[in-house]
């Protein structure tokens, strides 16, 4: 019965995103203070970027602001998808032999989250390219001469529409969780999310220096927009690692078995 309830929850894309993208290791450290600080940082950072885009007319309307933020989130997820396996791989290799098998086994769920979101992105890309419909999506059949093929096409598009709604909701919600929980790398070890957060945010700063998304704003504002996030996230991550050490006894050295 419990198995059927779990399967039924997967029909809810929000529940599925929570199950796939949120850490679930029972013995991991869960610190509510850390989560509140991280949430506050995310809200303040989001508000600051929106204010810069609007105040300096770097975006013409709310839709343009949303588009810019969506592009930034997509870039972050792409960077995270690359940073995650490199960082976790280095962590596993650097650990003592008796810990490597444990960490590799724990890495399966974070890897599953990465593959699930990658599959959702691939589905949306295939749908947008027309590969799943062999033409225009929801093309209206000729009602003067209906046939069995038209009925099958209509049924197929109905199913495809339901799947698309599910995938889009799952993708947006799962992406938010993936960024918040760093692809649930706490399931491998609690020390990994702050380490990956530092690497990710500085990679994004380098990308901003190359693409210059805040061109048109004063130099001081561009500096704050580019480096304010990395500096604040680094500070929060350093504080988080210190709290893990002092409150919970979790350190990088112990995690590696050194």
Q: Give the C-alpha separation, 162 to 25, whole Å.
A: 32
- Run of H or E residues at 4: helix 2-9
Which tens digits make up the pLDDT trace of 199-244? 888 888 888 888 777 777 778 877 877 888 788 888 888 888 999 8
Predicted local confidence at residue 235, as pLDDT: 86
Q: Give the C-alpha separation, 237 to 195, whole Å.
A: 7
Predicted local confidence at residue 13, as pLDDT: 92
Residue 21, CB-side half-sphere exposure with 13 Å CA sphere = 27
> Is-contact 82 247, C-beta < 8 A?
no
DSSP assignments along 164-226, one per residue: HHHHHHHHHHHHHHHHHHTTTGGGT-TTHHHHHHHHHHHHHHHHHHHH-TTBTB-HHHHHHHH
Predicted local confidence at residue 153, as pLDDT: 73
Q: If we measure between CA atoms, which residue out of 109, 117, 130 comes closest to residue 168?
A: 117
* Better pLDDT: 55 or 176: 176
Q: If we measure between CA atoms, which residue out of 164, 135, 139, 161 comes closest to residue 150?
A: 139
Length of the chain: 258
Which tens digits make up the pLDDT trace of 95-133? 999 899 999 999 999 999 989 988 998 888 888 777 777
Count of Cβ atoms closer than 10 Å to residue 134 Cβ? 8
Instruction: Please give the share of the chain, as a percent, with pLDDT higher than 70.
Output: 76
> Is-contact 158 164, C-beta < 8 A?
no
* Better pLDDT: 21 or 153: 21
Which tens digits make up the pLDDT trace of 20-56? 989 989 888 888 887 777 676 666 656 666 665 565 5
Which pTM value belongs to this model?
A: 0.79
Predicted local confidence at residue 32, as pLDDT: 86
Q: Give the C-alpha separation, 126 to 110, whole Å.
A: 24
> Is-contact 213 100, C-beta < 8 A?
no
* Residue 197, pLDDT above cutoff 80: yes
Instruction: Please give the share of the chain, as a percent, with pLDDT higher than 90.
Output: 18
Q: Give the C-alpha separation, 164 to 82, whole Å.
A: 26
28: phi then psi, degrees, rounded to nearest 5: -75, 160
First and final CA of the chain: distance in angstroms?
A: 45
Q: How far is CA 204 from CA 47, 56, 199, in A?
A: 18, 21, 9
Residue 217, CB-side half-sphere exposure with 13 Å CA sphere = 21
């Amino acid at each position: 019965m419990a198995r059927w309830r779990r399967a039924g929850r997967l029909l809810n894309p929000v529940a599925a995103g929570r199950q796939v993208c949120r850490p679930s290791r029972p013995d991991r450290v869960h610190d509510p203070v850390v989560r509140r600080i991280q949430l506050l940082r995310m809200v303040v950072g989001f508000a600051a970027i929106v204010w810069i885009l609007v105040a300096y007319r770097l975006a013409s309307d709310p839709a343009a602001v949303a588009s810019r933020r969506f592009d930034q989130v997509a870039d972050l997820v792409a960077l995270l998808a690359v940073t995650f396996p490199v960082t976790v791989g280095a962590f596993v290799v650097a650990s003592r032999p008796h810990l490597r098998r444990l960490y590799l086994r724990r890495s399966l769920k974070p890897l599953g989250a990465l593959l699930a979101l990658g599959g959702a992105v691939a589905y949306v890309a295939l749908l947008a390219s027309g590969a799943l419909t062999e033409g225009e999506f929801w093309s209206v059949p000729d009602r003067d001469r209906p046939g069995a093929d038209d009925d099958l096409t209509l049924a197929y598009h109905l199913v495809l529409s339901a799947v698309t709604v599910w995938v889009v909701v799952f993708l947006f919600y799962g992406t938010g969780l993936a960024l918040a929980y760093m692809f649930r790398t706490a399931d491998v070890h609690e020390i990994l999310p702050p380490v990956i957060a530092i690497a990710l945010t500085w990679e994004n700063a380098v990308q901003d220096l190359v693409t210059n998304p805040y061109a048109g704003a004063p130099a001081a504002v561009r500096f704050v927009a580019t480096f304010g996030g990395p500096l604040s996230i680094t500070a929060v991550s350093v504080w988080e690692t210190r709290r893990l050490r002092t409150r919970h006894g979790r350190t990088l050295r112990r995690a590696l078995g050194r």
